[in-house]
Amino acid sequence: MSTLNGKANLTSTLYMPGVMHVPVSRVPFRGPASGEAARAREARPPAAARGGPGAERLPGRARIPAVGVLALQGDVAEHLAALRSSGSRPVPVRRPGELDDVDGLVIPGGESTTIWKLAAMFGLAEPLRKRIGSGMPTFGSCAGMIMLARRVIDGIPGQEVLGAIDMTVRRNAFGRQADSFESDIVLRGLPGPGFRAVFIRAPWVEEAGPDVEIIATEPRTGRIVAVRQGTALATAFHPELTPDLRIHTLFVDMVRERS
Ligand code: GLN
């Protein structure tokens, strides 16, 4: 199955040069077109899991954390669906007050420079720095990985980052939109078969500090494409575009451990 064909429509819609923000509700792509994956995405957790009475009192793995998705630009809807299927209560975050109410946050793929500009415009830049700095679990995919890095190569002048992970990322390292590809990668520490990773104008990790745990490398190039440092997790690829929930489940577990 090629997930990339479906995704190409989405990305060509989302990544038009000069377009600041395409509301996700107008994007026609709704995840995998049909079959098991689509049904899994649509599945809703049980009532208690949706924040009903008693949800907070559930023990251990049954507890349902609220996980935000920074909803300024990029593939927000796909992350919300994957988070729901991974046992969390997903919440779009556009305002500082919404950020206050979540236990963890996903920064989606899209365009890191645009996401940053919009975060600044929406008054979210400093609240993001503050919460991430105080250990709120955060997962960044692709553009989100760039935003979590401490250093960026090939950013635009003045591009700011959140610096949660001691790494240098190279923006657009795998090439242009047309060079997007899929690759089966091994996720260290996560059992199961190869993970089908979708790379779209993806960065790679050029250099990682000693406290950064390397979760995956891309087999063709040997480059680091998934990392974790403490409560921050980042992938150069888009796990929200495939039905495999292992990355989102790992992240929801990280959130649950902290909350
Ligand atoms: N190249 C984009 C950036 O610099 C990231 C692409 C993506 O998120 N798919 O932000």
Q: Identify the pLDDT of residue 61.
A: 63
Give me ligand 1 centre to Cα 82, in Å.
20
Q: pLDDT per residue over 224-245, tens digit each?
A: 999 999 999 999 999 999 999 9
Active site residue 206: no
Active site residue 142: yes
Amino acid, single-letter form, for residue 180: S
Q: Which CATH class is domain 3-258?
A: alpha beta
Which atom of ligand 1 lies closest to the CA of 108?
8
The model's confidence at residue 63, banded by pLDDT at 50, 70 and 90, is confident
Show the tokens assigned to 193: 């078969």
Q: Identify the pLDDT of residue 36.
A: 43
Q: pLDDT per residue over 115-171, tens digit each?
A: 999 999 999 999 999 999 999 999 999 999 999 999 999 999 989 999 999 999 999
Give me ligand 1 centre to Cα 74, in Å.
9
Q: Identify the pLDDT of residue 51.
A: 45
Are 252 and 89 in contact by the 8 Å Cβ rule? The answer is no
Residue 122 dihedral angles phi and psi, to the nearest 5°: -85, 5
Q: Identify the pLDDT of residue 62.
A: 67
Pocket test for ligand 1, best of 200, 225, 237 (most atoms within 8 A of CB): 200
Give me ligand 1 centre to Cα 137, in Å.
21
Q: Against a cut of 0.95, is the pTM above it?
A: no
Percent of the chain at pLDDT exceeding 70: 76
Please give the biggest Cα pair distance in the chain.
49
Which atom of ligand 1 lies closest to the CA of 109?
8
What angle, rounded to 10 degrees, do the helices at 76-85 and 35-42 form?
80
Q: Identify the pLDDT of residue 60.
A: 61
Across 247-259, b (16+ Cβ under 10 Å) vs e yields bbbbbbbbbbeeb
Catalytic residue chosen out of the listed positions 79, 142, 182, 218: 142
Taking 70 as the threshold, does the pLDDT of residue 177 lie above it?
Answer: yes
> In Å, how far are 16, 196, 247 from 221, measured between CA atoms?
28, 16, 21
Question: Mean pLDDT, to the nearest integer, of 77-86?
Answer: 98
Give me ligand 1 centre to Cα 184, in Å.
20
Number of C-beta neighbours around residue 217 at 10 A: 17
Query: What's CA 156's distance to the chain center, in Å?
Result: 21
Q: Identify the pLDDT of residue 245.
A: 97
Percent of the chain at pLDDT exceeding 90: 73
Pocket test for ligand 1, best of 156, 201, 205, 235 (most atoms within 8 A of CB): 201
Round to whole Å and give the CA distance between 139 and 54.
27
Q: Which residue's entry shows tokens 């975050």?
A: 93
Give me ligand 1 centre to Cα 128, in Å.
19
* Ligand 1, CB within 6 Å, residue ranges: 109-112, 142-143, 146, 171-172, 200-201
